[in-house]
């Protein structure tokens, strides 16, 4: 199967490390193409960043005409542009936050999220509510590690995430940790070993869910609001992204 992995931020090195984490768990028959938008923020840490990132995700789906994917993964914890992406394709589209939350609820009665900047905790909280996960999500904890610092993550950054996760497990009485940034994907195995509880990286989980849905022949519903967007002109720089 062909899996389009979209990193909604425009960092090349982060796109590569996310792709590596995705390929490490992918089945032998899964071909992963990793891309990022041609415009927008290098990291996504605010509503403003997210607004551009959502358009960037749509751009990358519109560009995927010569290589039509069987499934799509949006690899940013805010799941920017997820529902727009579902309008644009029949392939299943998975956001890493939604995928990680679902996996966590199957592995523990309660989970905690450990993320990057504290300000993004509020954004994650709203995502949890939108997905109806507020009964199982017991806490969201910031480390104040900027997203781009995860590109070259040393022991002190890893230790900071581990310490925050340990405190979260204790304080929230949680059974699992959800990693709140795609840039944390390469750290998942090490953190799992250190913490001794399920540590869920949404990138890995979304790849496996995508493979499963695709293998079952399940596609995004085109009945209702995930039907293709109505054709109309777009103006200004967004002109080329208009639906014909």
Q: Does 115 bind ligand 2AL (CB under 6 A)?
A: yes
Site string for ligand 2AL, 147-166 (x = CB under 6 A): x-------------------
Structure tokens given for 187 = 């750290």
Nearer of residues 119 and 135 to ligand 2AL, judged by Cβ: 119
How far does the chain reach from its first CA to its final CA, in angstroms? Answer: 28
Contact by Cβ (8 Å): 50, 127: no
Q: Quote the least distance from Cβ 57 to ligand 2AL, whole Å.
A: 12
Structure tokens given for 107 = 């592995």
Q: Quote the least distance from Cβ 120 to ligand 2AL, whole Å.
A: 4
Stretch that binds ligand 2AL, among 21-29, 84-92, 114-122, 161-169 (CB under 6 A): 114-122
Q: Quote the least distance from Cβ 9 to ligand 2AL, whole Å.
A: 4
DSSP assignment string, 100-157: HHHHHHHH-S-EEEEESSTHHHHHHHHHHHHTT-TTTEEEEEE----GGGGGG--HHH
Structure tokens given for 2 = 């062909």
Nearer of residues 120 and 174 to ligand 2AL, judged by Cβ: 120
Nearer of residues 181 and 197 to ligand 2AL, judged by Cβ: 181
DSSP assignment string, 56-73: HHHHHHHHTTSS--SEEE
Q: Where does 150-236 show beta strands of DSSP type E?
A: 176-179, 199-200
Q: Does 143 bind ligand 2AL (CB under 6 A)?
A: no
The one-character DSSP state at 219 is: -
Distances (CA, A) of 203 to 44, 223, 224, 226: 16, 28, 28, 23
Site string for ligand 2AL, 2-41 (x = CB under 6 A): -------x--------------------------------
Nearer of residues 120 and 164 to ligand 2AL, judged by Cβ: 120
Return phi, psi of residue 140, to 5°: -130, 125
Residues 69-108 close enough to bind ligand 2AL by CB under 6 A: 76-78
Q: Does 120 bind ligand 2AL (CB under 6 A)?
A: yes
- Residues lying near ligand 2AL in the complex (CB under 6 A) are found at 9, 43-45, 76-78, 115-116, 120, 147, 180-183
């Amino acid at each position: 199967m062909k899996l389009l992995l979209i990193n909604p931020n425009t960092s090349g090195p982060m796109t590569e490390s996310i792709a590596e984490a995705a390929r490490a768990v992918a089945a032998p028959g899964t071909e992963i193409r990793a891309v990022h938008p041609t415009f927008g923020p290098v990291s996504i840490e605010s509503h403003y960043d997210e607004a551009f990132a959502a358009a960037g995700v749509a751009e990358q789906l519109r560009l995927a005409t010569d290589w039509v994917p069987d499934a799509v993964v949006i690899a940013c914890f805010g799941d920017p542009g997820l529902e727009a992406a579902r309008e644009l394709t029949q392939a299943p589209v998975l956001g890493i936050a939604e995928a990680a939350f679902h996996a966590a609820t199957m592995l523990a009665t309660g989970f905690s999220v450990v993320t990057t900047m504290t300000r993004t905790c509020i954004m994650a909280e709203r995502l949890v509510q939108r997905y109806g996960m507020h009964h199982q999500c017991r806490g969201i904890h910031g480390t104040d590690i900027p997203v781009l610092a995860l590109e070259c993550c040393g022991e002190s950054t890893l230790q900071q995430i581990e310490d925050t996760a340990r405190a979260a497990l204790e304080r929230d009485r949680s059974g699992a940790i959800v990693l709140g940034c795609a840039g944390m994907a390469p750290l998942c195995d090490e953190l799992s070993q250190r913490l001794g509880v399920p540590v869920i990286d949404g990138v890995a989980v979304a790849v496996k869910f995508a493979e499963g849905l695709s293998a079952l022949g399940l596609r995004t519903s085109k009945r209702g609001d995930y039907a293709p967007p109505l054709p109309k002109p777009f103006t200004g720089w967004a002109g080329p992204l208009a639906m014909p």
